[in-house]
Amino acid sequence: MYGLQAINAANGWAVTIAGISIVFTGLLVLAAAMANLQKVLNLWDRKGDLLQFLKAKPEAQPVQQPPVPKEPGEPAAAKPTGMALTSQQVETANAFQLIINRLGEPFSLFQLLEKASLHGISHPHHHLDTFLKLHLIVEAEGDQVGLYKWRNDVQIVSAEGEA
């Protein structure tokens, strides 16, 4: 059989229409999902604010508590210092920490940048420069001068919400 007869005998038209429809539907749905993913992630980042907004009640007057006397000789608990960064910076900082965990401390900036570029982290030099200026990454001392460390005593928070 040849020609239209062969196509009709094999349900060619139905297979073609169904096939094209399924391929289009698949990629359309995927495109729609990815187009909205950024918005969903932004909403997730702001979930703390959203929950607070939804639970908003009139605030009761706080009860005045007497100050707790400090025990003599007890050292004050060291509070981690917070640093507010943009969401892009927070993400890059997390990625850098992962790389640093594998490189070990102290690490070489060159190796960090090399790994960052390999893993597709965008603008690694710019972010490294920013973190150096913010003292998130500091130079090691003594005989390890020239190598660097990540400051784990700094808590990174997103300026747009919780990190």
Q: Interface residues with another protein (CB under 8 A)? A: 1-4, 6-7, 10, 12-13, 15-16, 18-20, 22-35, 37-38, 41, 87-88, 91-92, 94-95, 98-99, 102, 119-122
- In the numeric block, the tokens 């009709």 are attached to 8
Q: Which is nearer to another protein, 4 or 159 (CB)?
A: 4
Judge contact between 87 and 160, C-beta under 8 A.
Answer: yes
Using the minimum distance from each CB to another protein, give the nearer residue, 11 or 155.
11
Q: Which is nearer to another protein, 34 or 78 (CB)?
A: 34
CB of 50 to another protein, least distance (A): 18
Closest separation between CB of residue 155 and another protein, Å? 20
Please name the residues in contact with 142: beta carbons below 8 A apart, sequence gap of 6 or more: none
Query: For another protein, which is the closer residue by CB, 87 or 111?
Result: 87
Q: How far is the CB of 29 from another protein (least distance, A)?
A: 6
Q: What angle do CA 75, 77, 80 make, to 5 degrees?
A: 145
Lookup result for tokens 């001068």 = 145
Report in angstroms how near the CB of residue 79 gets to another protein at its nearest.
Answer: 28
- Locus of tokens 């932004």: 42
Nearer to another protein, 120 or 142 (CB): 120
- Give the DSSP letter of residue 122: S
Q: Which residues contact 93 (CB under 8 A, 6 or more apart)?
A: 85, 127, 131, 136, 156
Beta-sheet strands, E only, within 33-132? 81-85
Q: In angstroms, what is the minimal distance from the CB of 56 to another protein? A: 29
DSSP-derived secondary structure letter, 123: S
